[in-house]
Amino acid sequence: MSDVVRRIRAAGIVPVIKLEHAEDARPLGKALLEGGLPVAEVTFRTAAAAGAIRLLREEYPALLVGAGTVLTPAQADAAIAAGAAFAVTPGFNPRVVDHCLAKNLPVVPGVNSPSQVEQGLERGLSLLKFFPAEASGGVKMLKALHGPYAEVSFLPTGGVEPANLASYLALPYVAAVGGSWMVKEDLLASGRHAEVATLCAEAVRLVASLRG
């Protein structure tokens, strides 16, 4: 999983994407790359997820494309068949996480408690999703979790936006943040991909400035 973690850390932001139609992934992939954000997490919140992942992987090989909101082993299998490079889960479901690991699919499970972090450590995972970040206590909770688990990096997602981005990225154990402000559903649904590219570029510049 080290290459996936390296590329996520290099990007600094993982755009969390919901698509109603697989073909909408084509202009989205172009917008992401034009904006300098070479990573995408396509969520399994719609039936279009697998098709969108497959299209992005085939047409934009420079993109690191993962599957988000993976809730079942069947969805993990669909993500693998579509060519997903990694999976992200909202919570820590041992059955789903173990299935991903058994299939050699890098997985970033959601955690917001010490017990869940320890489940990740038990499986040798070095990157965990902190979700829902703001509702779970935000930076203060993340600092508390880091205390006894210094070897873990986190991907805070849920309520992360430009206004609080600096407070998360200031923490060295935050590999990147997950967010949807640059890929909002209304922008994608209305085909405003030029705006998406602009928002991605702004996000990339912001991350670069905050990381120094």
Interstrand relation of 64-68 and 86-88 (parallel, antiparallel or unpaired):
parallel
Residue type (1 letter), 160: V
Residue 62 DSSP one-character state: T
Does residue 11 contact residue 155 with C-beta atoms inside 8 Å? no
User: Residue 15, preceding bond cis, omega within 30 degrees?
Assistant: no
41 is known as an active-site residue: yes
| Alpha-carbon span 181 to 199, nearest angstrom | 8
The residue annotated as part of the active site, out of 41, 118, 151, 195, is: 41
Interstrand relation of 13-17 and 39-43 (parallel, antiparallel or unpaired):
parallel
Please, which residues bridge with residue 39 across strands?
64
103 is known as an active-site residue: no
The residue annotated as part of the active site, out of 129, 143, 185, 202, is: 129
Does residue 4 contact residue 85 with C-beta atoms inside 8 Å? yes
Does residue 173 contact residue 146 with C-beta atoms inside 8 Å? yes
Phi-psi group of 95: left, alpha or beta (phi > 0 → left; psi -120 to 50 → alpha; rest → beta): alpha
Give the residue numbers marked as catalytic.
41, 129
